[in-house]
Amino acid sequence: MQSVLVNGRILTPQGIVDGKAVVIRDGRIAALLAPADTPADAARHDLDGGLLVPGFIDTQVNGGGGVLFNDSTTVEAIAAIGAAHRSYGTTGFLPTLISDDLAVVDAAMRATEQAIEAGVPGVLGVHIEGPFLNAKRKGIHDASKFRTLDDQAVALLSSLKRGKTLVTLAPETTTPERVRRLAEAGVIVAAGHTNAAYGTVRKALDAGLTGFTHLFNAMSPLTSREPGVVGAALESQTAWCGIIVDGRHVDPAVLRIALRTRPLDRFMLVTDAMPTVGMADKSFDLQGRHIRVVDGVCVDDHGTLAGSDLDMIGAVRNAVAMMGLSLEDAVRIASAAPAAFLGLAGQRGAIQAGQAADLVLLDEALTVRRTWIDGVAS
């Protein structure tokens, strides 16, 4: 099956180009050609002068559309979450499970496998955020669920048969050897909800840790004599740092400073989204606690941050307005950067021949008008 997208501006790795058409064949981008050179028998879709950008990839999605993954580790829940976020330009995501019992972790992983096998649009794998965390930096997580990363847990986390597994852990609660075992098994390991000393993080990086979950939040800070997790993250030029750009989780000035310390493409936008995304009802229950949205962020009755009400196109707009990025760079850290973090740089995250046809059409106000996942339009 072939289709051609015409009459749009296209954001390619080389910048925005005009006068080209995107040829889609069997779910992938076959070519960028002059409209006159495109296959005559292909279905043509007029983009009406809009901006076509790579689909956004969100590695931290706790919920959406009224569904919380911890409450429903099913294929149907994953599909509902993905559908809610697709409206905001997310064409690839990791349903994210916050700290829970290992039986729930197992159920989440099996549901992810089944969702991918069933062809649920956009599912790239699963993010297991905890329960291997530090109670001193627990945030909204239930510390009663926390446990050490033992051999049983390593085996479970290494068991996904389809898609990518991302695990957020506190390096000080385990050993470099276990981090290395996870990495060698193909698990992507990130540090988060951690009070680790700088040296501990450095050893974890050497062992295969490649990411930092919601940089600055729930981690030991950078100080004059203790670099902490933040210091190790900013010093690293190779690990990826997820950032929540909503103006509340991290002050924009702090994010702007962070951008000056390391390559831009080693940052990636994440939402840390909760069930309220895509819903009029801006409240829900999380493991027995009532959560509501206040000024765009989710908080419990004590004011503790509990994820966000952020969507990816909102994060892109905020990256431009709050961080001073160009639209091209904001899209880059919403698409190409997370694709690279997941080991999918050659497959997703850019509009170029050979990549999956995961695309988002934006208007001048940076509103999502249409999306494609594997070449299928919404």
* Tens digits of pLDDT across the chain (378 residues): 799 999 999 999 999 999 999 999 999 999 999 999 999 999 999 999 999 999 999 999 999 999 999 999 999 999 999 999 999 999 999 999 999 999 999 999 999 999 999 999 999 999 999 999 999 999 999 999 999 999 999 999 999 999 999 999 999 999 999 999 999 999 999 999 999 999 999 999 999 999 999 999 999 999 999 999 999 999 999 999 999 999 999 999 999 999 999 999 999 999 999 999 999 999 999 999 999 999 889 999 999 999 999 999 999 999 999 999 999 999 999 999 999 999 999 999 999 999 999 999 999 999 999 999 999 999
Domains of the chain: 2-53+353-377 (2.30.40.10), 56-341 (3.20.20.140)
Q: Would you state the pLDDT for residue 296?
A: 83
Provide long-range contacts, Cβ within 8 A and 24+ apart, for 294-303.
295/248, 296/246, 296/247, 296/248, 297/246, 297/248, 297/249, 298/274, 300/140
Q: Do 87 and 314 contact (CB within 8 A), yes or no? A: no
Pair of tokens at residue 87: 């409206």
Tell me the residue type at 25. Answer: R
Cα gap 30→4, rounded to integer Å: 10
65's enclosing H/E stretch is none
Instruction: State the chain's mean pLDDT as an integer.
Output: 97
**Phi then psi for 212, rounded to 5 degrees?**
-130, 125
Cα gap 49→34, rounded to integer Å: 15
Neighbours of 19 (CB within 10 A): 9
Neighbours of 2 (CB within 10 A): 14
Catalytic residue among 272, 309, 311, 358: 272
Express each pLDDT in 335-378 by its tens digit. Answer: 999 999 999 999 999 999 999 999 999 999 999 999 999 999 99
Q: Would you state the pLDDT for residue 260?
A: 97
User: Of the candidates 163, 310, 167, 333, which has an alpha carbon nearest to the alpha carbon of residue 242?
Assistant: 333
Pair of tokens at residue 132: 């291997």
Express each pLDDT in 210-248 by its tens digit. Answer: 999 999 999 999 999 999 999 999 999 999 999 999 999
Q: Would you state the pLDDT for residue 122?
A: 98
Angle at 196 between CA 192 and CA 199, to 5 degrees: 120
Cα gap 323→257, rounded to integer Å: 9
Burial of 91 (0-12, 13-18, 19+ CB in 10 A): buried
Name the pTM for this structure. Answer: 0.97
Within its chain, how far is the Cα of 312 from the centroid?
Answer: 9
Burial of 56 (0-12, 13-18, 19+ CB in 10 A): buried
State yes or no: is 363 an active-site residue.
no
Task: For the sheet with 43-46, list strands across it.
Answer: 28-33, 21-25, 2-6, 43-46
**Distances 318 to 130, 325, 368 between C-alpha atoms, Å:** 28, 9, 15
Express each pLDDT in 82-102 by its tens digit. Answer: 999 999 999 999 999 999 999
